[in-house]
Structure 1
Amino acid sequence: MTADDVRAVLLALEGVEEGAHMGHPDFRVGGRVFAGLLANDTVASVGLDPDTQAGLVEEAPTWFAPAAGAWGRQGWTRITLAGAPPELARAALEAAWRLARTRSPARPRRPKR
């Protein structure tokens, strides 16, 4: 998979918008970030539930790994795109989108002063 493949999959999903977060492309639904591209677009990061994350990490540890620290314990998962099985990567991207859609919309942020 490539970053362009990730973009194509995510932007084809209902309600997804691309933005930027901390200098990296991110993808949001309902105002909530649920995926992003990192490391010069060689890694995708997706917000999964911990059980889904565990299953992917067990099935394909070469390409799927928990994010560092508390983010990883909450389900955030790194996908190494080069060589990642497209069907598993697509399943992870879609699972993150479905999970994000179940959460309440993000609250509007106050403008910085």
Structure 2
Amino acid sequence: MATTAEHVRTIALSLPDSSEKLAWGMPTFRVGGKVFAALADDDTSIGIKCPKEDRAELIAAEPEKFFLREGHDDNYAWLRVRLAAVADAAELRTILTDSWLQAAPKRLAAAHPELRGGEG
């Protein structure tokens, strides 16, 4: 089964203290007021928090899944994920949880040790 925007919404909103807000003409998912995921306007990809130093390795390992929008993502700690290339809900949960952990306030993240390492 293909991963869809509805899967993103369901998983993102299942993470602690997460909310959805329309911004830049697209649904964004937030924790502690910070965006941790954003659906593309065509629902085919999501933007996630990703340390700049990790992006090149992820893109090189799985270019069909991970990419940057040239001229848009270069200066930010963000990475794009093609939903069609995400294997299943478990992988999507890991991707979204990792992004949530980067955006969540430290106290909130610490209160949910079950989410460390993409588990959840």
Partner of 1:100: 103
Root-mean-square deviation over aligned CA pairs:
2.0
Per the TM alignment, residue 10 of structure 1 is displaced from its structure 2 partner at its CA by 0.7
Hey, what's the Cα distance between the residues in 2 that align with 1:57 and 1:32? 24
Equivalent AA in structure 1 for residue 69 of structure 2: A
Q: State the Cα deviation string for residues 59-91 of structure 1 (Å, max 9, x = none).
A: 211011123336334321111111322344332
Hey, what's the Cα distance between the residues in 2 that align with 1:92 and 1:55? 15
1:25 aligned onto 2:1: no
Equivalent AA in structure 1 for residue 18 of structure 2: V
Classify the secondary structure of the residue corresponding to 1:68: coil
Structure 1 residues 55 and 91, CA, compared in 2 at 3 Å: closer, same or farther? farther
More helix by share: 2
Partner of 1:107: none
Q: Contact conserved, 1:2 with 1:81, CA < 8 A, in 2?
A: yes
Q: Contact conserved, 1:19 with 1:28, CA < 8 A, in 2?
A: yes
Equivalent AA in structure 2 for residue 71 of structure 1: D
Per the TM alignment, residue 101 of structure 1 is displaced from its structure 2 partner at its CA by 1.1
Equivalent AA in structure 2 for residue 24 of structure 1: M
Partner of 2:63: 61
Q: Contact conserved, 2:25 with 2:41, CA < 8 A, in 1?
A: no
- Percent of aligned positions that are identical: 32
Gaps of 5+ in 1: 104-113
Structure 1 residues 64 and 42, CA, compared in 2 at 3 Å: closer, same or farther? same
Hey, what's the Cα distance between the residues in 1 that align with 2:83 and 2:56? 18
Gaps of 5+ in 2: 107-120
TM-score by length of 1: 0.77
